[in-house]
Amino acid sequence: MQVRERACASAFLCANESCYDHKVVGKRVTKGVIFVLSMGDIQAPRLAATVILIDAHNSHSFRVLLIKRPLNLRVLPGYWVFPGGRVEGEDELCSASASEAIVQAAIRETREEIGVALEKQELVWFGRRVTPDVFKLRFDTHFFIARFPANAKICLAAQEVEEMVWCTPVEAYQNAEKGIWLVAPPTRDALRTLASYKSADDLFHGGVMQEQVENRDEILHFVNSLQTQRDT
């Protein structure tokens, strides 16, 4: 029996269709006003999307899929992430709004990186993170959760994915906290929230990431880890 779940991607589109300037990807719009950064060399964040695939293998727990980025990539090499990426021109071309383009990017990136095809109605909006302005390359990333489709087969894109793993959010979060895995703050935030839910049904009925809080110590630690990785 299918459980009625909360706001899917369609609801996200309706709620956010006036929140972005469709013609200018990379400039955020808050309450109808384009957010323009005043400091010269700080970049406006680019729109992006990421998908957290959920495998509810029993009624008491669930697993999430994470992928490891190859070391030769420019952005977050060697980091564990959820499938996803920035909004591209092709996403805009087939979309009537920037919000719809975000959903299209989520679907496209999941298909390109791991070979799993999702439909718009399968995505549930989970949260949003904007890269702090101390970074030159910034993203305005929307997180979605989706149940792993029955009978879907995973096919990893070798250029974008070094390896993948299914694990519980608790296991993934602990690996991040212990330094076993390289995990960026937005992914860590998502894992922390996911770990607070006991079942997939509970997650899909009310799961949402906590409001973003800028933690300067965490940012400094992340910057230092990137620098250390670059120097090795």
pLDDT tens, residue by residue, 98-151 = 889 999 999 999 999 999 999 999 999 999 999 888 788 889 999 999 999 999
Query: How many CA atoms lie within 13 Å of 227's alpha carbon, on the beta-carbon side?
Result: 7
What residues make up the domain containing 57? 9-231
Alpha-carbon distances of 59 from 108, 123, 161, 231, rounded to whole Å: 30, 20, 30, 45
Q: What's residue 115's pLDDT?
A: 98
What does the pLDDT look like over 141-191, one tens digit per residue? Answer: 999 999 999 999 999 999 999 999 999 999 999 999 999 999 999 999 999
CATH number for the domain that contains residue 47 = 3.90.79.10
Mean pLDDT of 41-64: 88
Residue 57: how many CB atoms within 10 A of its CB? 12
Q: What's residue 196's pLDDT?
A: 95
Judge whether 2 lies within some domain.
no
Q: What's residue 221's pLDDT?
A: 60
Q: What's the chain's average pLDDT?
A: 81
Q: What's residue 33's pLDDT?
A: 26
Q: Alpha-carbon torsion 111, 73, 130, 177, what sign?
A: positive
Model confidence at 32, in pLDDT bands (50, 70, 90)?
very low
Judge whether 3 lies within some domain.
no
**What is the count of structural domains for the chain?**
1
**Residue given tokens 């697993």 in the structure block:** 63
Q: What's residue 35's pLDDT?
A: 28
pTM: 0.79
Structure tokens belonging to residue 99: 């919000």
Judge whether 30 lies within some domain.
yes
Judge whether 4 lies within some domain.
no
Judge whether 197 lies within some domain.
yes
Q: How far apart are CA 47 and CA 73, in angstroms?
A: 19
Mean pLDDT of 15-24: 46
Model confidence at 94, in pLDDT bands (50, 70, 90)?
confident
